[in-house]
Structure 1
Amino acid sequence: MKHLFKLDPAKNLPHNVIAKLVHSGTDGFIIGGTDNLYLDAVEKLYESLVETDLPIFLEVSDEAMILPEAEHFLIPVVLNTTNNKWTLGLHQELIKQMGDFIPWKRVTSEGYVILNKEAKAAKLTEAETDLTKEDIVAYARLAENIFHLPIFYMEYSGTYGDPEVVKAASGVLNETKLWYGGGIRSKEQAREMAKYADTIIVGNVLYEDLEAALETAAIFKKKTV
């Protein structure tokens, strides 16, 4: 997967927009958000996508994100938080309550490093965002070699990150996939980050400039003869 759209259940997208996203060239969708998450909105958004053959990931940041019928769940583990409930506390509590019913084969953990101090996610998780390139590279190594996480997610949450930092983190990863999200608002930025990230995540621009969002996916669209 080179490109994923991230859709927020708290924000509305017309049905005709969903159809455009499905045929844009994207490799799939993440449904996820930070606040104002409600089960009925999550279900409605999931159902609007479910007929596509593209994968749909539910990012479980809240109980409202748990739909038993979903095929793929992402479990965020925030590596640069100063409050360990976001690395293991909430996870342990959920497993204690629901461990017998969790479809583990459909669950993928992702090691998050949140890098925009103004982002809601950074504030909620009490993330330490004032990090050097060396700090982030160390987190990447931690994700792969200590925690054996399948995904290392560099999340700039609405701001465009430093490609050289993404390149440096990518350079120390062999098995763990690097996902990049944050501030991609053009096909040029999509191409730039895709040189280093295994997967780029495009979210906010969907609600600000749909045509620009579609262009970020079109560069990956497979040509048909």
Structure 2
Amino acid sequence: MFALRLDPGDTVPGVGLAFTDRLGGRSQGSWSSLNLGRVGVDPAVHDNLEIVRRELGLRALIRVDQMHTTNVHVVHDAVDGQQCPEVEADALVTTEPDVGLLIRVADCVPVLFASEDGSVVGAAHAGRVGLLAGVLEATVETMRGLSPAPLRAWIGPHICGDCYEVPEPMRDAAAEILPATRATTTWGTPAIDLGAGADAQLTEMGVHVERHDRCTRTDPERFFSHRVDAAAGRQAGIVFCTGRVGESRKVGLG
């Protein structure tokens, strides 16, 4: 179910986070089994979201309709056990307690954020377009407007630079904006390293970065990958704050 799970107090006081994998859900066929994509495409997604929500002990999981933009949506309130209406954005930020911010990915980069005082958290969907346009910068700026505390970021599973083959002009255009993205596949063709680009951009902004970015393309039994299957399901990055700074607890409602 989780490629990585950190409960409140494990790293940042009052902040929990997780990167899911494709195991432990109720989806069938090529979406087997913890598909967290669109409910309208796979009806089992609703059950899968509830499984994750309960496991993390959250009163709500908030999602967005991701559009490869730099739009950041600030979540001001939420209702127990329900999603807010989807908004067209690629990042979420909140100070609301026990509300999970969920970003869906299949090869793009999920980046989770927390202020070191545990008062604000964020999640960003950083595909090639959004990363180069500045979605991570926009997320950091929004969070810094809510808390002066230093920020931490966690980069989750995504397609790696050894595998993300692109046309050479696309690779060169990306490297012109963000030099750290320049890469070459293991078979010798032009590539983009999204994780290295995200790491470099965040580090330059003074954000402490941790990378937990196993490659989605090379481990299809554990992760969904759009490059492996264009109709693939989605895993997610999820982050939340408890509103109880300094608290260390194990979560889960059974």
> TM-score range, shorter-chain basis?
0.3 to 0.5
Task: With a CA cutoff of 8 Å and minimum separation of 6, indicate the structure with the bigger relative contact order.
Answer: 2
Name the structure where strand makes up a greater proportion of residues: 2
Q: TM-score, normalised by structure 1?
A: 0.37
TM-score, length-scaled by structure 2: 0.34
